[in-house]
Each structure stands twice: as C-alpha cells, then as structure tokens.
Amino acid sequence: MFKKVCMMLTVLSLPLVAGVSLEQKIGQMLMVGFHGTTASKNSQICKDIQKYHVGAVILFDYNPVNKSEPKNIASKAQLKKLTAQLQACSSDGKLLIAVDQEGGKVQRLKRKYGFYGKFPKASDVIKMDQSQIRSTYEKMSKELKSVGINYDLAPVVDLDINPKNHVIHGLGRSFGKDPKTVAKYASTFIDAMHSHGVLTSIKHFPGHGSSVGDTHKGFVDVTHLWKEVELEPYRLLKDKADTVMVAHVFNKKLDPKYPASLSYKTITKKLRWDLGYHGVVITDDLQMGAISKKYGLRNTLKLAINAGDDILLIGNQLDPRKVKSTKTLVETIKSLVRSGEVKEKSIITAYQRIQKLKQKL
C-alpha cells in the first residue's frame, strides 16, 4: 500500500517538473531585489524574469543608492503599474511580489506615497479586540492586493522575551511573550491576508526575540539567551503557515557550526522533522551582515540549498556596491550542481514546494 501511495505521489508531482530546465527550477528559487520604479520589457529585471523564470521579487521604498529617489515604491498608481509590468514578464503570471508590511516601523506602503501608512505595530494591536484586529489586517491585505502585491513577509512570531532586544522588542514587532497568544494573533493576520489572496511568511525561525544584536549588521549569537519555547509558535502554526522565514542567528544548541539560515540541523532536522513543517522555507536577506561578512556568495548559496531553504532572498538593498545579478546567482548555483556540491534533487524538491505554494494564488 505504502509503495502504491508513493508511486501515486510521484506521478502527481511529475507535471511540476517535466520539461522544466535546471535553470528554470533554479530561477524559481530566487527572490531578488532590483532598482527601478518601472519594469518595461527592455528592463533588466523583466529580461531576468523571462530568461531565468525568476520566482519572486522583493520591493523596497528606501533607495540606498540615491536617497532622494524611491527604489521601487513612489505612489499607488506607479506601484500598481510596476507590479502589473512585473507579472506580465513572468511566464506563469504567478510571480511572487513581496514586501515587508507588518505595521508600525515596518511598513513599506507609507503615507507619503499615498497609502494608509498608519497600520499599528504588533504591541499595539494586542490592545485591540479581535474584530478590530481582523478588520485592521483585512484593510492591510486589501491595500496590498490593490497594488498587485501577493506576498507579505509577515507576521512576526518572535516572542517578546528580552527587553534589551532592539530589533523585535524595541520596535514593538512582537505579539507578546506567550506562544499561544502569539500564534493566535498571527493566525488572525494570516486569515486576513488570505481574505484578499495575499500569501504570508511567519518569521524569524528559530526565534529572534531573545537576541540582543542585529543580524543586518553582523554575527548574532543567541546560544545563551535563546529558549526552547521560541519554537512553539512554529509548531502551532505548522499547518497554517504559507512560508517560514529563517533568521541568521547563530545558536550552538541547534547547530555548533552554522547560523540558522545555513543550517541543515536547524531547517531540515528541527523545523521539518521535529516540528513537522513541510511548506516553503525562505531565507532572510542573504546579504545581511551576519552572512555576507562571514561567507562568500558561492558558499552561502551552497549551504542555504543544502540546509533545506527553498526561496533564497537576495535583496540588493543593503550595500549598493554588492548588487548581485540574477545571472551570477543562477550560474553559481548551476556550477554547484555540476560539481556535485549541491544535489539536483534538492533543487527539484524546492521547485515543487514553490509550485505548490503558487497554486494558492
């Protein structure tokens, strides 16, 4: 019987892979950031989406190269046009177009661009009643959808357990200390996003709430601060989460060698095997200091894929001198497969998970 089920599953998954080149499968694993408020057919980003079948893009408002110009988001009308152009470049019309839109300090759709821009931070949301919370997040979801954004890199399910934490506690990004409470609010957020067809990502696995440092800037070791309870929201939401974003925190208790985002022990063993999560795993931005200061690009991509990450996020946001082209990313991963440092099976598995996720759109 088991053999029969396995054969059925294999047959079911074949159309997802048949006739798709290795290059296209790799392209689907990439989420890239780019500079530009339009994406005409001749733009580099459009050419990359067409040629490499790029699976996802991430949009930012802040432009690190020219602070007086927007990077991707300038107004409602402009953003709606940009996302339509990007979608037209994709062969399946299911390009994942992502932003970080949590509320509070972290909202890319700002008031100055004509958006609502006043969504509350998580620590204020918990003071509201359930129906208010639902309508707040449904309003957020509707606004995202109205401008063609179909993937929100939120909600945060980090526990608010360290008052010295600047990144989570200091910005009021957590729904609280209790995992059940956090999972309940996150669940409301996810439902609200789904009401307008927007996908979500719970973050930052395996827990960033206990940390003191900022992984944007460099290496953050949470070994002596991290608590097992930080895994609980992921266990509670394992069947509901569209995707899980993995942090770059280093935790000797989970892996004595690698930070979470590059760790097979943390992603495959802990998240997938122990906690039972089987959906898409996305990395936090692989250009953040915690990774880029310690690992070169080739090694980063190799470790991330071998760890079990499905979507590799390259934001091209943090350092204008270190923009990575899609071509470079695809060619690097292809050479890792050719050399045997990355198994093609890992690419196929990631590709299949991503296609399953896109079926929700």
> From the candidates 191, 196, 216, 221, which is the catalytic residue?
216
User: How many C-beta atoms surround the C-beta of residue 327 within 10 A?
Assistant: 13
For the chain, the distance separating the N- and C-terminal CA atoms, rounded to the nearest angstrom, is 33
Amino acid identity for residue 307 in this structure = A
Amino acid identity for residue 315 in this structure = G
Rounded to 5, what percent of the chain is helix, strand, coil? 45, 10, 45
Is residue 248 annotated as a catalytic residue, yes or no? no
CA-closest candidate to residue 334, choices 27, 91, 46, 96? 27
344-358 vs 326-338: helix crossing angle, rounded to 10: 130
Token pair recorded at residue 243: 């995707």
- Longest CA–CA span in the chain (Å) reads 64
**Ramachandran region of residue 93, left (φ > 0), alpha (ψ -120 to 50) or beta?**
left
Give the torsion sign (CA, 105, 258, 31, 93): negative
> From the candidates 61, 152, 158, 284, which is the catalytic residue?
284
Is residue 194 annotated as a catalytic residue, yes or no? no
DSSP 145-207: HHTT--EE---B------TT-TTTTTTT----S-HHHHHHHHHHHHHHHHTTT-EEEEEEET-
DSSP 19-80: T--HHHHHHHTEEEE---S---TTSHHHHHHHHH---EEE--S--SS-TTS-SS-S-HHHHH
Residue 201 CA from chain centroid, whole number: 6
Give the torsion sign (CA, 218, 224, 229, 234): positive
Question: Could you say which DSSP state residue 250 is in?
Answer: B
Active site residues: 216, 284
